[in-house]
Amino acid sequence: MSDTGDETSLPAPAVSVPCTAQRGGVSFPSTRMVPDEQAVAFTYNGSTHAVMMATPADLEDFSIGFALTEGLIEDRSEIENLEIMPTPLGIEARVWLKGDRAEAYAKRRRSMAGPTGCGLCGIESLEAAMRPLPRVTAEAKVSSQAIIAAMASLDPAQTLNGVTHAVHGAGFWTEREGLVALREDVGRHNALDKLVGALVRDGRTAADGMILMTSRVSIELIQKAARINAPVLVAVSAPTAAAIKLADEAGMTLVAVARRQDFEVFTHPERLNETSRQVASHVA
């Protein structure tokens, strides 16, 4: 696969803006670093598939991760070429799919444009939203100490959030390697897609570690994590009921409200060692 496009020509992921600050009842001119947000259009073989508002960084990772978690590809090798192209209106991520995958995508496009009453918001999009997930087959075990250490590793690694205090992070952590990769974005889904892309480009899945999120857990995050066989997803905030149900069905261990020494286990506690299961039972 060929990755082209110079990300150094993209807008900076954070910019300084003027503001009026008030401290101790006193107002004064000041500045603040805030994250940038750009329209990123994903095109596949010349057809626009989606436009996402995202932080303009790690866009090659984003493009690959989005294609994989949306089921447009099964493997990175199915991408023939990838270009990141800044434009006056935003950024285009131009992806060219190979042979059979390109043909399958063309058929999908024709199906989505069919006579379903309201077009893209009809049956096709509902089926896509609730598509069956691959069953998580990874059998990695984790300890409570590992969960605590993994979440503690996120904050120091979030350089963009350290500057702006306004972006989400998605990380991958293993007991053997520690924090393997971390990606940041104004959107939590975007951050996870970027992380997935980074892992795929490195030739690995999430089977031997934990996905870490600095956000709440919605159903889309479970769908994306399952696509790379993640046995454990840990998040700082609470999950939705739909996310819990889907994680349980997919065979994924969902740990949430993970803050300092505390966490709650919602699904498949058997992946935690005996001590951790006792902790989980006590927290519950």
What digits encode the pLDDT tens for the residues 228-246?
A: 999 999 999 999 999 999 9
**pLDDT mean over 80-101:** 95
CATH architecture for segment(s) 2-129: Roll (3.10)
Which phi and psi angles does 135 have, rounded to 5°? -70, 130
Residue 160 CA to residue 13 CA, distance in Å, equals 8
| Spatial CA neighbour of 185 closest among 60, 53, 4, 70 | 53
What angle in degrees, to the nearest 10, is found between the helix axes of 59-69 and 188-201? Answer: 90
2-129 against 144-283: fold identical? no
Domain boundaries, the chain: 2-129, 144-283
Give the largest Cα separation in the chain, rounded: 65
Give the model's confidence band at 120: pLDDT under 50 very low, under 70 low, under 90 confident, else very high: very low
What's residue 131's pLDDT?
Answer: 67
CATH of domain 144-283: 3.40.140.10
Q: What is the C-alpha radius of gyration for the chain, rounded to an integer number of angstroms?
A: 20
pLDDT digits (tens, 9 = 90+) for 168-210: 999 999 999 999 999 999 999 999 999 999 999 999 999 999 9
| Spatial CA neighbour of 5 closest among 49, 53, 51, 62 | 62
Concerning whether 19 is annotated as a catalytic residue, the answer is no
CB contact at 8 A, 144 and 275: yes
pLDDT digits (tens, 9 = 90+) for 12-47: 999 999 999 999 999 999 999 999 999 999 999 999
What's residue 9's pLDDT?
Answer: 86
Consecutive H or E run containing 176? none
Look at residue 68 and give its three-state secondary structure: helix
Strands 90-97 and 79-87, how do they pair?
Answer: antiparallel
Which of 118, 132, 274, 284 is labelled catalytic? Answer: 118
- Residue 7: pLDDT above 90? no
